[in-house]
Amino acid sequence: QVTLKESGPALVKPTQTLTLTCTFSGFSLSTNGMRVSWVRQPPGKALEWLARIDWDDDKFYSTSLKTRLTISKDTSKNQVVLTMTNMDPVDTATYYCVRIAPTGTTGWYDYWGQGTQVTVSS
Amino acid sequence: ETVTTQYPGTLSVSPGERATLSCRASQSVSSKVAWYQQKPGQAPRLLIYGASTRATGFPARFSGSGSGTEFTLTISSLQSEDFAVYYCQQYSNWPWTFGQGTKVEIK
């Protein structure tokens, strides 16, 4: 059974750095073909892809946020960590950790975490 | 970047009626489109992948079609539990992109 769960602060101040942790089970990120992404959703708005990390440690970032994002993994702990620097109120959103379906050449997100709501305010 | 556009933004439908949601990609994405259902306060849930393959747990009243740049999600007879926001996503061209969503509301 695949599960993902996000954790991190609910409130951060402008200019601070946000660190979110995704703890997952039911698969290993050291397995060939496994990939995990972060997706966010501002209140009442659409989904926005942020970053992706693959089993071979390849990393990909949203072009518009690339300078602010870092994604990493700890396969021994089954965790993926996302950091976002210089937080702004426009970054207020629910942040989701998602797994990319591992079978063949896929790109759909087959499992989602419950999401963690982050508010940026002084 | 491939722009993914959904229309309409809101669809008002009576229970039992058919709902047709559209998704357009700014360039060909073959059949590499997924659809997600999101209910209030919940995470999105995979509904369709490969443009037409239903994910586990969704009934046959949900169907997807299309290829190239035009895609459709059809709900043949809306049930109360189907009122939600639906997102399409293309995974053909990097970066993969989501549409802005279609809200299906009760008429």
Per residue, the 3-state secondary structure of B75-94, as one string, reads ECCCCHHHCCEEEEEECCCC
Chain B residues touching residue A62 (CB < 8 angstroms): 95
pLDDT band per the 50, 70, 90 thresholds, residue A10: very high
| pLDDT, tens digit, 9 for 90 and up, residues A72-117 | 999 999 999 999 999 999 999 999 999 999 877 789 999 999 999 9
Q: How far is B97 from chain A (nearest CA, A)?
A: 7
| pLDDT, tens digit, 9 for 90 and up, residues B16-63 | 999 999 999 999 999 999 999 999 999 999 999 999 999 999 999 999
Beta bridge partners of A93: A118
- Which whole number is the average pLDDT over A10-20? 98
Q: What is the pLDDT of residue B9?
A: 96
pLDDT band per the 50, 70, 90 thresholds, residue A43: very high
Distance CA A113, CA A23 (A): 9
Distance CA A80, CA A72 (A): 6
> What part of A 22-61 touches B (C-beta under 8 Å)?
46-49, 60
Least CB-CB distance to A46: which of B34, B49, B87? B87
Q: What is the pLDDT of residue A7?
A: 98
| pLDDT, tens digit, 9 for 90 and up, residues B63-85 | 999 999 999 999 999 999 999 99
Least CB-CB distance to B101: which of A46, A63, A111? A46
DSSP track, chain B: ---EEEE-SEEEE-TTS-EEEEEEESS--TT-EEEEEE-TTS--EEEEETTTEEPTT--TTEEEEEETTEEEEEESS--GGG-SEEEEEE-SSSSPEE---EEEEE-
Closest by alpha carbon to B50, among A22, A116, A75, A101?
A: A101
Q: CB–CB of A49 and B46 under 8 A?
A: no
Q: What is the pLDDT of residue A16?
A: 97
State the average pLDDT for chain A. Answer: 96
Interface residue A106 vs chain B (CB under 8 A)? yes
In the numeric block, which tokens belong to residue A91?
A: 């970054």
